[in-house]
Amino acid sequence: MSVLSDLRTLAVHAGFRKLFAVRLVSQCGDGMFQVGLATLFFFSPQNMATATGVAQAFAVLLLPFTLVGPFAGPLLDRWRRRQVLAHGNAVRVVLALVLAVLIGTAGVSTAVYVLALVTLGINRFLLAGLSAGLPRVVPRDQLLMANTLTPTLGAASAAVGALAGFLIGLAVPDAATDSAALVVAAVLFGTASALALRLGRDELGPTTRARIAVRTAVRTTLEDLAAGARYLLRRGTPGLGLGVMALHRFLYGVNFMALILISRNLLADPSDAAAGLATFALLGGISFAGNGLAIFLTPLAHERMAPSAWIVLCLGVGAVSQALLVTTPVWGVIAVSAVLLGLSVQGAKIAVDTIVHRDTHDDFRGRAFSLYDVLYNAAFVGAAALGAWVLPDTGWSRAVFGGLAVVYVLVALGYASGTRRLADTPRPVLPAEAAGPAA
């Protein structure tokens, strides 16, 4: 099974082609935007050379998304998701251009941090909308294939955007590096907004949509989100999937934080931030090769085992990746570990996305993926707090990586036990689910 043949299978659906185009262009802009933030928050010469500094940067970037994220789901279950994609990207055009002007004229300031956070927050909202709309443009029996390709190729597009942003930085004067990348990112956001308008107004759902004022939606968000959480837990399989992915992201977050510190302070001269950034970019690319392996291996695994069994296996691969790091912090070992962890994370994510899509009713999918984002960001904030406490400034600790390997094994055993109790079958919650397969 090849990527091209799978894409040909999915591309016969016009709605998929249009939605996929929005994802590719939008995420390419994300990558270009985020490479500037990576330099600003983690690899500027005067900042983020310690575990505590990196942890603070993670908190600044992610904690607001954790607090704001819950509002995305209820709105995605009320608003036309196509309009969300179009308007959200249009707003990002304005924000990116304002940021470019501020950075190019006044430099880094509080306003820059706030606007960057808002822009990234919209990005999380858009990704949730892309995921929630996917089941509306592909048949149910092709969801695994779509979940295998679209997030991973979207991430590849983001990587291309990041590389383009890096090359733009080499081509323009230092003072204009970040501004130039942001201007090009704004162009891509505008293109994604225009591409979203090719979809039908109601093509991405939701099925039932109440007309409601924003202030009313905000006021009832916590109740809606709580109802969504109760639904997912009672349904069983999607609740377990989101839980195991949150734990996976927590463990990955500690490793990611360690990788930043290792790149900057162990594998490169700590005083040379540019070399640290280049080292981290190379290791990040190596880790992405593991994501690519997940594209090929996940469909093959699905032919032989249930998605839940593949998640357990991916968690086992994650344990092996951390056990390798226990041995020695040399280039070869770190590179192999990065590939294995990339495979573990992406393979498990594809399977969890499939379970949530397959076993969650359309009326709750927006809230399900909003919860997904909240758990994702909260897990990273928690990982940053733990990393600041346990990681040395070099990023490498035999005890920490050994502990992560043990926790990976425990999470795999716990998830396997939970799916066995359910017989890996979702419980009917809504009348439509009791009457037949999940909508």
Is residue 45 over pLDDT 60? no
Is residue 364 over pLDDT 70? yes
Of these ranges, 75-84, 209-218, 358-367, the one predicted with the greatest mean pLDDT is: 358-367
Is residue 108 over pLDDT 80? no
Q: What confidence score (pLDDT) does residue 439 get?
A: 47
Q: What confidence score (pLDDT) does residue 49 get?
A: 60
Q: What confidence score (pLDDT) does residue 43 get?
A: 64
Per-residue pLDDT, averaged over 151-176, amounts to 82
Is residue 140 over pLDDT 80? yes
Is residue 132 over pLDDT 80? yes
Q: What confidence score (pLDDT) does residue 243 get?
A: 95
High-pLDDT (> 90) share of the chain, %: 45
Q: What confidence score (pLDDT) does residue 214 get?
A: 61
Its pTM stands at 0.72
Is residue 95 over pLDDT 90? yes
- Which domains, and CATH codes, for the chain? 3-435 (1.20.1250.20)
Is residue 323 over pLDDT 50? yes
Is residue 267 over pLDDT 50? yes
Q: What confidence score (pLDDT) does residue 378 get?
A: 86
Per-residue pLDDT, averaged over 262-280, amounts to 80
Q: Mark residue 120 as left, alpha or beta (left: phi above 0; alpha: psi -120 to 50; beta: remaining).
A: alpha
Is residue 121 over pLDDT 50? yes
High-pLDDT (> 70) share of the chain, %: 88
Is residue 241 over pLDDT 60? yes
Is residue 226 over pLDDT 50? yes
Q: What confidence score (pLDDT) does residue 41 get?
A: 63
Is residue 190 over pLDDT 80? yes
For the chain, the average pLDDT equals: 86
Q: What confidence score (pLDDT) does residue 78 get?
A: 74
The pLDDT-based confidence of 100 (bands split at 50, 70, 90) is: confident
Q: What confidence score (pLDDT) does residue 274 get?
A: 66
The pLDDT-based confidence of 54 (bands split at 50, 70, 90) is: confident
The pLDDT-based confidence of 73 (bands split at 50, 70, 90) is: low
